[in-house]
Structure 1
């Protein structure tokens, strides 16, 4: 029997230091399990939608065999930020009371540099395929969102993926988007085997797994008047992902076309 997909839950014990990168202001925190995490806050600019994209993107990447830091649900007590002297951080903590998302902190890791670390063509193709599936606009030369840790490549920060859910306008049509932004992907030039890896990766992401992933989304992260219930939200996420996987040839062709123009 397959292992049930679950995330551990920790309490935030200590705010260690902010990571002032981009607009979301993640931070390194210590959980009550003694481990350090990079915490993504529900009270940051993109709200819980960024956490949902991080959760879905990270667990799909893990299922496909990529190295991804462990994701945990992290509870933040309402009293936590009262002694924080920085008013901006204090406000962020106040608005993030409740369930947030943490990624295990990879101490000593360094940002991937294509001039230093080489990625083979098959791995590059798989990463490009993943990001085209997720509509992840944030794996570029400017911001690769890949780390080198213990000589391996680790994928991080999928919060900018699934951007269709910021409006939910015609999400059925969005599931068939060719994703033209793949042209800016840092690994596109090396991705010579996208057609071949597409067949392999599509088979791994069956509908049962997709259902498990969307069921991980906490109900109170789902808000807005787009659907009548949290169940309808989750059905919409599952439809988007399953339909996109089923029609992977659309975004695969887009990636191949962009690569031909690039080289």
Structure 2
């Protein structure tokens, strides 16, 4: 059966509900014109559009391999919000984020995953550890799990810190084949005993066509800035080739993850 290409809906933000001040980039809960609530990630926040690019690519890659991620949507923000917000810090953020941003469907009533109270099986733990090695996600530790329990199921959130090669200034080719040393701090690593089986499965699921279809979702306006003379298509090509290369060398990060887990037990 042919794979359906990924698609994202576009919504317009109609109401700013409340900031989520525990987030370093000051995301917020907003309401959109479809009457749903979203956690809005702002293009004008500290890490800029690169955090949104990582959030989008990582989120859709997770969905492609069967992990649960809240629906992602493109969310447009009008200049009216910046004019009426009384908080100067938020006002500046809203003005810097006019146009296209990224929203995650708000999981009302969800609770933060607690590794002591919430247990998951070895297969799911291995899938998440493999995934975070693949996308180089440093933000899934016991201190900040970035996972939620919602309707007795585990959901992954907040991938803006992933794909950090695009911040480093170092050649992506070198970054793509490096082991992921931060995996030693992953909250699920002790339970990730099925990494080899997961690797064989996910390498089949993440075809080059599927990876490139996901990367193609990144809007031009997030790929145009003063830091680079590259065109949006050229920058998309870097993301696609980084992921394809990393997948082809998954044995490197797989070995590092298994070694780190063995050191714990």
TM-score band, normalised by the shorter chain?
over 0.9
Q: CA deviation at 1:200?
A: 0.2
Pairing of 1:176-215 with structure 2 (within 5 A): 176-215=177-216
Match of 2:252 in 1: 250
CA RMSD of aligned residues (A): 0.9
Displacement of 1:159 after TM fit? 0.4
Number of residue equivalences: 263
2-side partners of 1:205 and 1:167: how far apart?
A: 25
What is the distance in 2 between the residues matched to 1:161 and 1:228? Answer: 21
The whole-number CA distance in structure 2 between the counterparts of 1:75 and 1:112 is 30
> How far did residue 242 of structure 1 move?
0.4
Counterpart of 2:106?
105
1:224 shift after superposition = 4.2
Q: Is the 8 A contact 1:227 1:233 kept in 2?
A: no
Aligned to 1:37: 38
Q: Does 1:262 align with 2:264?
A: yes
Displacement, 1:228? Answer: 2.5
TM-score (ref. length: structure 2): 0.97
| Partner in structure 1 of residue 168 of structure 2 | 167
Q: Deviations over 1:41-81 (max 9, x none)?
A: 00000000000000011000001111110000000001222
Aligned residue runs from structure 1 range 19-168, under 5 A: 19-168=20-169
Gaps of 5+ in 1: none
Q: What per-residue deviation string (whole Å, max 9, x for no partner) do you get for residues 161-220 of structure 1?
A: 000101342101100010100000000000001111101011100000111011100011
Q: Secondary structure at the match of 1:113?
A: coil
CA distance in 2, matches of 1:200, 1:194: 10
Partner secondary structure for residue 212 of structure 2: helix
**Per-residue deviation, 1:225:** 4.1
Say if 2:147 and 2:156, in contact at 8 Å, map to a contact too.
yes
Distance 1:167 1:115 in 2: 35
> Structure 2: where are the runs of 5+ without partners?
none
Listed one character per residue, the Cα deviations across residues 104-140 of structure 1 (whole Å, up to 9, x for unaligned) are 0000000001111101001000100000000000000
Determine the structure 2 residue equivalent to 1:233. 235
**CA distance in structure 1 between the partners assigned to 2:133 and 2:18 by the alignment:** 33
Give the Cα separation in 2 of the matches to 1:183 and 1:203.
26
Shift, 1:3, TM fit: 1.8
